[in-house]
Structure 1
Amino acid sequence: MADSIDVLAALKLIYTIYALAVISVIAYFGYRITQKGEVKPAKKGIFWAYVASLIVIGTGMHFLTYNVVPWVPMDLNRANIKAEKTFDITYRDHKIIPNEKPMKVPCGKYVVFDAHSDDLTYGFGIFRQNNTMVAQMQVVPGSRNDLMWIFHKNGTYSVRSTEYSGPKGAQMIIEDAIVVSGCKEDDKYAMKGGE
């Protein structure tokens, strides 16, 4: 399974190229309409070929990456996957209250983070030590809020609220909330103190 950091880096590059291609169309038309005198119109065939290539690239990115994005296979096959462990997490009065701390996650096994809010809409985000996000979901009162995940690298992760729930929401952080062990490889961005 691809790591979210790798997927994000690749998508940044692809979307930057795509955005520059779209901007080039706008720049071309802007240049053409500011010319003095009679300007020959752009050839329709070239214009439509350019538009078609943008459509193919735009949709092609999604078709090529849909199975690489870490959460897609889990979401598509969720009904057939049995989680090894479920962690219950309660949100109340701008506090995140896990049923165990740290949440010890076995390597390569599916786990479910089942979050419930008693008052406001919060967020459940899993973050590495370098503050990059692994996964997140919204936690809405009165709704099912669970996130299935599988870790393939050792690491220590924090949990943070990722939704605005007032000024106190910025302080909703549990350091060292999730500890993953038993993997052959370490997540270099999630290792605490060079462990």
Structure 2
Amino acid sequence: MGTVVDFRSGRSAPGAIAGEGLTHVELTWVEKKIEYWIRFGSVTREKVLDRRRRIVSFRPGDIFAFVRWAANDSDTIISRVDIVRAVAEGEAHQTLPFVRPGGDILLTAQGWPKVERVLRTIDGIEQLGIDPGAVSPDHWRHVHNRMTVGQAPRTYTLDLHRAYLVRRRVQP
């Protein structure tokens, strides 16, 4: 197996096994202080580090939403959602805190109003009976780009999803 890597420093520590081809996400939950969670995605493996921290792992190609929220005694420090495609070993990727080795970041939103819009978009897709992790990566990029310029993204529909699935089958 590989070396165990600390997610913040990169030094050896309890955590995910490097070199096994999975993308690992460190989740923390300290009620009303630090709340990092997965909104959607097919977790391949889960490792509990302690009562507040765990590591979830995703296979290459899996798409997941990673939500981070943290506050101090008087205000929110961070409110962010990232929709990420897990990458294969050696594949180009962007780095992201608490995600190793990183991933293909399809969408990122910061600030609670934008995060809430993304969460509502995810809810709308689920209401269609579609797993958000099975949605076209291009759609998540579209949502990101439209939100970045302050415009409403196109609604994901069953027809768009069917077209994506057909395109995926015929492309090598």
Q: Output the TM-score relative to the length of structure 2.
A: 0.28
Higher share of residues assigned strand = 2
Max Rg structure: 1
Query: Greater RCO between the two (CA within 8 Å, min separation 6)?
Result: 1
Q: Output the TM-score relative to the length of structure 1.
A: 0.25
